[in-house]
Structure 1
Amino acid sequence: MSEITTLCDVEACAVVYGQNDTQPEVWPSPSGVQSTYAKFRTMPSMEQTKKQLNMEAFLRQQIEKAKDQLRKQKKENREKEMSILMSQCLTGRSLQDLNMGDLNDLGWVVDHKVEEINRKVKKVQEELAQNENNHVQVVPTPPPPPPATSGRIMHMQQAQSAAPMEVMTPQDQQPQEQMAGLGANTHYKKNEHCTQ
């Protein structure tokens, strides 16, 4: 009893009548039993009977717990049997010898397994989508620009890359000027005439 009072943090007392004993055994002491019993009697009747158990009520409670455990165990066993039967059917076993109860239970197990598979597929798809959203693409950095140059040099570089330059000597220039009818003197006279 001392362990119960310590573990449950309650006041307790015990009066035990043995078969061959003329006087009952009491715990913790006769005065302790009377004190605890007096406190119990002062409690409202609802509180007194709230957790009260006699031997019959205790046994009924234990029987109900055992029945619940038995029901759960039977259900688990039946599910395992149907899972084994489902595996056998997938490997070629015929359904002809099964009764309606077996077929119903087998259908329930198959539906349950399909739901489980669908949940797992959905979870994997969500994880893949999440990974794709979190995936960071690394964009390569462009090469650095060439050093800055003046506009004239840049224009010349562009012209050179577009077409090769023709280099003319002074001898090459004279025939072209004569063909055009514009010699150096003519050009000068034209300018002189225009200024007048």
Structure 2
Amino acid sequence: MYKIVAYFLKGILRIVGKIHVYGQQNVPKDGAYVITCTHTGWVDVLYLGITLLPNKVHFMAKKQLFANKLVGWFLRKLNAFPVDRSNPGPSVLKIPSRLLAQGEIVGIFPSGTRIEEQTALKQGAITIAMRSKVPIIPAVYVGPNSLKELFGKRDAYLIFGEPIQFSDVKGQRAEFTNLLEERMDALSQEISVGN
């Protein structure tokens, strides 16, 4: 169901607006990795998903989105899995670690509503990638964040940064968290200047 919906959305999004993608050479063609992207609405999830086709992304999503049974069912069909951000349990590491071990891609949006939440989500992404010995691809999205903006023909911009590798480098989680923050800040400035 994921690919059917994703290719359908790709067609719709091409009609309503244009996506400018930069740094796609930084995204591995195959193999497992964690992708972290800025998150200001629901449209960025769609653009990130269609940009990475034919590869599928398993998105980490807050559990509140799964409260409605129909919405929860639909999200699961789109490879999203719930996480309790306020009270994280073993599933925060177990589910993404299992997916990465199977060669899948895990998407994490570490732009929480509070600064502490943003840092915690970035540390979580680092922990998951380090444990699984897979790279993190930082990404930044700028563009429409609502139906009104989307159908207002506003262009979207998505930029991918160079992978952060853990397999060959010794380092602490805090150091890599700072590096991820620096990379995403630099990408934000780069994409702001470019559009």
TM-score interval, smaller chain = under 0.3
Higher relative contact order (CA 8 A, sep 6+): 2
The structure richer in strand per residue is 2
Structure (1 or 2) with the larger CA radius of gyration: 1
- TM (norm. structure 2) is 0.16
- TM (norm. structure 1) is 0.16
The structure richer in helix per residue is 1
